[in-house]
Chains A and B, each alone.
Chain A
């Protein structure tokens, strides 16, 4: 299969086992530069495992994984972050006892350089860098729409704000690929809508977005292409409309070889309803 030139992330034949359990078996997909790519599937289908593989938290057992033209085998998470993959977590993992601003400033770590000597001497370049870090962090805080005192502790932010802060922290690493693990889980319709606008604006800044989501309405309205995982296998891929009518996908979500039509956009795929 020849891939288009603008492929950013390419997985082929990726397998991941945990003891006797096969979490991913032979998953291949490619994500193009600048698109919003959705990854859906029932609970336990292996979506988060796939995320952990491409962000280096798990090492893949078989297959290859190429990002931005380079192959990564047994790669540490921080090197992948340096290469340009940033992520958020399904269960929010902020630095709870650090302020909102500091959380984003940590995200700048990978693009800045001052070390012990810079910290101790506070020479001109270290001070300039520190100012730039804080400045950029403020911008990002504003960009994702958190209007709070910058020194508010992350754990005192509201749930929706924590999700946004996690995105801001990921953006601070200047990613080429932003991988979001269920960013709207637990959000109400208004919050979901405003997050959708944020994601579109991130895409228009030239950042490719990979999205795991259960909210079908969001996936249908936002993603350029969608892949469906079930029991660790990719069962469908394509534009959202096609995927939604795929009989395999319907079967995966509703069980058995059901003829019943898939719920319309706006309703959950039988997994979770948007509140």
Chain B
């Protein structure tokens, strides 16, 4: 994905839309939807992190939520009555990201020789191990407070500016969900920037080479061990960052937020949107957060209006539709909703293919 200078007006328009979005949504749909947008941004950060591991380096990681958990618990333990620590946000955020990065390398190292299915199974196991650890680390020494989780976590705060209070600016009320929206948007843009820069670099090419053919990559002089660990580390860093923000936003963390289902959900965002393509992954993240919520809110009233009673529980209908959507996408758009330009190029009969066909005809006529 590259922005050409001509699309500057487009970028400006996009920026305005993103800036006014929470207020418009608030006015049209209500407060709850701004909160959903906040969560969507957190998920987009996660999906972009996983995209580095799965989309760029081709390493199928089913335990990615573990890094989200590491970030969230780092923030929770250093900013809650649990240990009586109240570290400032600007210190905890980098620390959480760094710790997640460390865990990324730690969990990545034993899996270096594994590929495909085997890698997926082992990472799945690691994800569960982290969650179960959080669940059981309340005895003999109570660290994580076990299944009860940690509550009363400090809100995100920069200096005296708390994101948990309503501030008035330019005659507008910036409530806590609005403020978090802007904060998360900033971090999401940072993550997108980093992803973009990495994608078109020597490191990014090395990741893709490993994805395409690991043996050939190593024969071309790529240190596959280091480059794979780097992918795990970068992906985990984004996960940890997102986890910290999640803990500060939610004010409460417990192990059940970090189940396997969450890992799969994030993987779905990456795959559904278009592996390896940042725009696709963002789209996947938005859709997979917003659509289920829309179903949750819309399915009940809709059934009442049409058949007069609620026949199917909106909650189960949500999962049903989710599964259906995935199947349809895999059938009709196997490369994702918005595949990377590479993949799109191969689906269109373009110049190169025409050239090849012409050549084949030429060969045959000889």
Q: Give me the interface of A with B, judged by CB distance under 8 Å.
A: 55-57, 76-78, 81-82, 86-87, 89, 93-99, 102, 105-112, 114-116, 118-120, 122, 126, 129-130, 133, 148-149, 151-153, 155-156, 158, 169-170, 172-173
B263-271, B312-320, B351-359: which lies at the interface: B351-359
Give Cα distance in the complex from A109 to B202, angstroms. 7
Give Cα distance in the complex from A173 to B222, angstroms. 11
Within 8 Å CB of B345, what residues of A?
151, 153
Residue of A nearest to B353 (CB): A156
Given A77-B221, A95-B217, A97-B342, 11 other A-B residues pairs in contact with their CB atoms under 8 A: A77-B218, A98-B205, A98-B209, A98-B342, A105-B205, A106-B206, A108-B202, A109-B221, A119-B201, A158-B359, A173-B221
- CB < 8 Å neighbour of B351 from A89, A109, A149, A173: A149
Within 8 Å CB of A94, what residues of B?
212-213, 216
Q: Give me the interface of B with A, judged by CB distance under 8 Å.
A: 194, 197-198, 201-206, 208-209, 212-213, 215-224, 230, 234, 342-343, 345-346, 351-353, 355-356, 359
Give Cα distance in the complex from A137 to B345, angstroms. 21
Give Cα distance in the complex from A17 to B216, angstroms. 23
Q: Are A78 and B223 in contact (CB under 8 A)?
A: yes
Q: Are B221 and A110 in contact (CB under 8 A)?
A: yes
Q: Are B356 and A156 in contact (CB under 8 A)?
A: yes
Q: Are B346 and A78 in contact (CB under 8 A)?
A: no
Within 8 Å CB of A86, what residues of B?
219-220
Within 8 Å CB of B359, what residues of A?
158
Give Cα distance in the complex from A111 to B230, angstroms. 19
Q: Are A93 and B201 in contact (CB under 8 A)?
A: no
Q: Are B346 and A169 in contact (CB under 8 A)?
A: no
Give Cα distance in the complex from A98 to B222, angstroms. 16
Q: A89-B216, A99-B342, A119-B198 are in contact. Are A81 and B208 (CB under 8 A)?
A: no
- CB < 8 Å neighbour of B203 from A96, A119, A172: A119
Within 8 Å CB of A155, what residues of B?
346
Within 8 Å CB of B217, what residues of A?
95, 106
Give Cα distance in the complex from A55 to B346, angstroms. 33
Q: How far is the CB of A226 from chain B (nearest CB, A)?
A: 24
Give Cα distance in the complex from A97 to B208, angstroms. 9
Give Cα distance in the complex from A109 to B194, angstroms. 20
Q: Are A130 and B201 in contact (CB under 8 A)?
A: yes
Q: How far is the CB of A105 from chain B (nearest CB, A)?
A: 6
Q: How far is the CB of A21 from chain B (nearest CB, A)?
A: 21
Give Cα distance in the complex from A109 to B218, angstroms. 11
Q: How far is the CB of A97 from chain B (nearest CB, A)?
A: 6
Closest 9 CB pairs between A and B? A110-B221, A81-B221, A119-B201, A95-B212, A93-B216, A77-B218, A152-B352, A106-B209, A78-B223
Give Cα distance in the complex from A114 to B205, angstroms. 12
- CB < 8 Å neighbour of B198 from A93, A120, A133, A152: A120
Q: How far is the CB of B142 from chain A (nearest CB, A)?
A: 38
Q: Are B346 and A119 in contact (CB under 8 A)?
A: no
Within 8 Å CB of A105, what residues of B?
205
Q: A95-B212, A97-B342, A149-B351 are in contact. Are A130 and B218 (CB under 8 A)?
A: no
Kindly name the residue among B201, B212, B220, B342 whose own CB sees the greatest number of chain A CB atoms within 10 A: B220
Q: Are B205 and A78 in contact (CB under 8 A)?
A: no
Q: Are B202 and A119 in contact (CB under 8 A)?
A: yes
Q: Are A173 and B208 in contact (CB under 8 A)?
A: no
Within 8 Å CB of A112, what residues of B?
202
Give Cα distance in the complex from A170 to B203, angstroms. 18
10 pairs, CB–CB < 8 Å, chain A vs chain B: A57-B218, A78-B224, A93-B213, A97-B343, A97-B346, A98-B212, A106-B217, A116-B230, A119-B203, A173-B221
Q: How far is the CB of B84 from chain A (nearest CB, A)?
A: 36
Q: A95-B213, A119-B204, A130-B201 are in contact. Are A106 and B222 (CB under 8 A)?
A: yes
Within 8 Å CB of B219, what residues of A?
55-57, 77, 81, 86-87, 89
Within 8 Å CB of B212, what residues of A?
94-98
Give Cα distance in the complex from A231 to B3, angstroms. 58
- CB < 8 Å neighbour of B215 from A93, A98, A118: A93
Q: Are A169 and B220 in contact (CB under 8 A)?
A: yes
Kindly name the residue among B194, B206, B208, B221 whose own CB sees the greatest number of chain A CB atoms within 10 A: B221
